[in-house]
Amino acid sequence: MKSATGSHTGTGTWLVQRATALVLALALPALAVYFLRALPADFADWQALFAPLWVRVLLLLTSAALALHAWVGMRDIFMDYVHHTGARLVLYLGVILTLAGCEIVMIMTLWK
Amino acid sequence: MKPIARPVYLNLFRIHLPLPGWVSILHRVSGALLFFALPLGVWSLSVSLSGDAGFRRMADALAHPLARLVLLGLVWAFAHHFLAGVRHLALDVHWGTELKRARQSSLAVMLVAGLVTLLAAWRLFT
């Protein structure tokens, strides 16, 4: 039984952190090159950059990896510095809501 | 026998942090900065794709020197987090763990992140 405060889940989260780090290390430079090469753009050019399906799928997968990566990282920071369990759980909740909100806005932006 | 009284420095201003220690704590600081920038980035992307007016609003906002300064700070945060992260992955597989090479790689992380930031500053402010 895993506890709600995140104990006994260390190896799994450690692995998630590394796996998502690898995905991000490959995807983010590729996306940066794709977008920076097209600048400066007007609105039509900008919109056209997001038209191919592979761009939207890659952005969605990358943002999902980023959300998981950021969650583990912020959780590590709070585990180190915030020792009051209640306060830490509130902060965890804030991070989860922020990241989930970002994902929802990403999906709505890419597929509207 | 009484234990020898040793000085314990937990004062951050008196702790001498070696270069790999700086790379490590800055990896954490830059990661937190990027987390706080994420909602702003997603919101900006959403507005810029909402239509011609939204696109121009974001383009105008990004033309402001203060916005460019924030962007420059985020370029540093990303460059440092990326490079220090790759270094940590290498250390995870026991590559470059000898003291000398660990110090060299942490110096490389600091220098390359600084260089990337300088290039971005040149691109953003000239």
Mean pLDDT of A36-55: 92
Q: Residue A2 pLDDT > 60, yes or no?
A: no
Q: Is residue A2 part of a domain?
A: no
Mean pLDDT of B33-58: 97
Q: Residue B3 pLDDT > 90, yes or no?
A: no
**A73/B38 touch (CB, cutoff 8 Å), yes or no:** no
Q: Is A43 an 8 Å CB contact of chain B?
A: yes
Q: How far apart are CA B87 and CA A60, in angstroms?
A: 26
Give per-residue pLDDT as tens, B46-69: 999 999 999 999 999 999 999 999
User: Of A90, A70, A25, whose CA–CA distance to B37 is shortest?
Assistant: A70
Q: Is residue A102 part of a domain?
A: yes
**B38/A70 touch (CB, cutoff 8 Å), yes or no:** yes
Give percent of chain B with pLDDT exceeding 90. Answer: 86
**A 91-110 residues with CB < 8 A to B:** 95, 98-99, 101-102, 105-106, 108-109
Q: In the CATH scheme, what is the code of domain B19-125?
A: 1.20.1300.10
| Cα within 13 Å of Cα(B110), Cβ side | 15
- pLDDT band for A40, please (50, 70, 90 cuts): confident
Sequence spans of domains, chain B: 19-125
Model pLDDT, residue A75: 96
Give per-residue pLDDT as tens, B89-106: 999 999 999 999 999 999
Q: Is residue A74 part of a domain?
A: yes
Q: In which residue are the tokens 């702003």 written?
A: B40
Model pLDDT, residue B37: 98
Q: Is residue A23 part of a domain?
A: yes
Q: Residue B14 pLDDT > 60, yes or no?
A: yes
Q: Do A73 and B35 form a contact (C-beta atoms < 8 A)? A: yes
Q: Is A60 an 8 Å CB contact of chain B?
A: no
Contact list, A82 vs chain B (CB under 8 Å): none
Q: Is A48 an 8 Å CB contact of chain B?
A: no
**B89/A99 touch (CB, cutoff 8 Å), yes or no:** no
Host domain of residue A55: 10-110
Q: How far apart are CA B63 and CA B68, in angstroms?
A: 7
Contact list, B39 vs chain A (CB under 8 Å): 98, 101-102
Which chain A residue lies closest to B30 (C-alpha atoms)?
A73
- pLDDT band for A9, please (50, 70, 90 cuts): confident
Q: Is residue A68 part of a domain?
A: yes
Q: Is residue A78 part of a domain?
A: yes
CA angle A86, A88, A94 (to 5 degrees): 110
Q: Is residue A52 part of a domain?
A: yes
- Write down the pTM of the prediction: 0.89
Q: How far apart are CA B3 and CA B56, in angstroms?
A: 69
Q: Which of A46, A77, A109 sits opposite B46 (nearest CB)?
A: A109
Our count of domains for chain A comes to: 1
Q: Is B49 an 8 Å CB contact of chain A?
A: yes
Rounded to two decimals, the ipTM of the complex is 0.90
In this structure, the dihedral spanned by the alpha carbons of residues A69, A73, A76 and A78, taken in order and rounded to 10 degrees, is -120
Q: Is A73 an 8 Å CB contact of chain B?
A: yes
On average, the pLDDT of chain B sits at 93
- pLDDT band for B9, please (50, 70, 90 cuts): low
Contact list, B81 vs chain A (CB under 8 Å): none
- pLDDT band for B118, please (50, 70, 90 cuts): very high
- B82 class by beta-carbon count within 10 Å (0-12 exposed, 13-18 middle, 19+ buried): buried
Give the distance, in angstroms, between the CA of residue A15 and the centroid of all CA atoms in the same chain. 16
Residues, chain B? 126
3-class SS string, chain B = CCCCCCCCCCCCCCCCCCHHHHHHHHHHHHHHHHHHHHHHHHHHHHHHCCCHHHHHHHHHHHHCHHHHHHHHHHHHHHHHHHHHHHHHHHHHCCCCCCHHHHHHHHHHHHHHHHHHHHHHHHHHHC
Question: What are the respective helix, strand and coil percentages of chain A, to the nearest 5?
Answer: 80, 0, 20
Cα end-to-end span (Å), chain A: 41
Q: Residue A47 pLDDT > 80, yes or no?
A: yes
What CATH number is given to the structural domain containing A22?
1.20.1300.10
Which of the pair, B18 or B10, is modelled with greater confidence?
A: B18
Contact list, A98 vs chain B (CB under 8 Å): 35, 38-39
Model pLDDT, residue A112: 82
Q: Is residue A1 part of a domain?
A: no
